[in-house]
Amino acid sequence: MANDAAPPFWLVWCRRGRQPVYEHESYHSARAEAERLSRCNPGEAFYVLAPVARGGFDRFNLCWSHYAQIGNDTHDDFHGEHAPDLEQ
């Protein structure tokens, strides 16, 4: 996998929730699900996660591929601070 490839999936995670079980095909799909879950669970923080690398052992070597960086140019609704009413 090339170093500039986009992440193959996104997950939605909450610290006090169960582990993610669905792999979203796009950031927008994962964000929409995080927003839906937020409305159903007021006060909980939901995170949209993407892998930064994958690793595996071929017959002889441990190999790593890194995905392109994402999120550096995104809009932060909280301007670098946590929303005051969300559990971290």
Q: What is the mean pLDDT of the chain?
A: 81
Residue 86 pLDDT greater than 90, yes or no = no
Kindly state whether residue 18 falls inside one of the protein's structural domains.
yes
Token pair recorded at residue 8: 């193959």
Kindly state whether residue 82 falls inside one of the protein's structural domains.
no
Kindly state whether residue 73 falls inside one of the protein's structural domains.
no
Residue 69 pLDDT greater than 80, yes or no = no
Q: What is the mean pLDDT of residues 5-30?
A: 93
Domain with 22 in it:
11-66
Q: How many domains does the chain have?
A: 1
Please report, for residues 1, 57, 59, 83, the alpha-carbon distance to residue 76 in angstroms, rounded to integers and kept in the order given.
30, 37, 43, 11
Kindly state whether residue 24 falls inside one of the protein's structural domains.
yes
Token pair recorded at residue 31: 């964000």
**Model pLDDT, residue 77:** 58
Q: Is residue 59 packed enough to be buried (19+ CB in 10 Å), middle (13-18) or exposed (0-12)?
A: exposed
**Model pLDDT, residue 6:** 79
pLDDT band at 53; cut points 50, 70, 90: confident
**Model pLDDT, residue 1:** 40
